[in-house]
């Protein structure tokens, strides 16, 4: 159970982006569409509403991705193993209590594929302050054992990255964060948990791949959902 937090106002819509994202742009085999634009709040929201998300490509460049197939976690298809169910009782969960710290832990350069740099931390922290980006924190005693963050727009939650501390502190902590996120999304009327790519780790939790056309259909429905 996620501990309650003070009621928040509706997210604040930022000024629109000066960039235009094409509808359903083609991508290469790695999901890459193009590079450029910026990480302003309006640009990020426009990208997610189009089905794109950013990652650094090369030095100081922003790449935009639209993979096909797309990894999604059906909210009615979460797999919770017996061992993970036992792990749930060892942690406590909060939401949005230390967003920037979760991002920095996700971007720890010692981690494999630690791609989150200071520019991304600053950009998503601004999005968090406007009410669009959220974090789930997993605690063991008073230590941050794991967590994840992403962007919520209507019924869409676009998961960006997650982390867990070294064992034994962080054993199963990232999976616990996913379970807590699904509980939150179910309880608040969300319909789409986008995880970008299916990985072996995420597959154990029930993540599946859907073709781009199906993803776009689900995305349109999620963005139209009132939450």
Query: pLDDT tens across 95-137, in order?
Result: 999 999 999 999 987 766 668 999 999 999 999 999 999 999 9
Please give the CATH number for the structural domain made up of 71-224: 3.40.630.70
pLDDT of residue 20: 93
User: Which residue, 191, 109, 174, 108, is CA-closest to 135?
Assistant: 174
Residues facing residue 92 across a β-bridge: 139
pLDDT digits 0-9 by tens, 36-78: 999 999 999 999 999 999 999 877 799 999 999 999 999 999 9
Q: Where in the chain is the domain with CATH 3.40.630.70?
A: 71-224
User: Which residue, 69, 72, 66, 75, is CA-closest to 207?
Assistant: 72
Asked if 62 contacts 37 with a C-beta cutoff of 8 angstroms, the reply is yes
pTM: 0.93
């Amino acid at each position: 159970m996620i501990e309650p937090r003070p009621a928040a106002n509706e997210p604040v819509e930022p000024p629109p982006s000066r960039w235009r994202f094409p509808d359903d742009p083609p991508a290469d085999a790695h999901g890459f569409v193009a590079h450029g634009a910026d990480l302003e709040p309006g640009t990020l929201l426009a990208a997610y509403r189009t089905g794109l998300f950013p990652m650094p490509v090369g030095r100081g460049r922003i790449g935009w991705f639209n993979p096909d197939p797309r990894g999604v976690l059906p909210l009615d298809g979460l797999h919770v193993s017996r061992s993970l169910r036992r792990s749930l009782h060892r942690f406590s969960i909060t939401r949005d209590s230390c967003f920037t710290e979760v991002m920095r832990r996700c971007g720890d350069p010692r981690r494999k594929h630690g791609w989150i740099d200071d520019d991304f931390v600053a950009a998503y922290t601004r999005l968090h302050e406007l009410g669009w980006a959220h974090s789930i924190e997993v605690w063991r005693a008073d230590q941050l054992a794991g967590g994840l963050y992403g962007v919520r727009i209507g019924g869409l939650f676009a998961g960006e990255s997650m982390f867990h501390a070294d064992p034994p502190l962080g054993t199963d902590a990232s999976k616990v964060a996913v379970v807590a996120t699904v509980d939150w999304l179910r309880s608040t009327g969300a319909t789409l948990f986008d995880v970008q790519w299916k990985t072996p780790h995420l597959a154990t939790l029930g993540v599946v791949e859907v073709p781009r056309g199906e993803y776009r259909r689900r995305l349109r429905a999620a963005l139209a959902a009132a939450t």
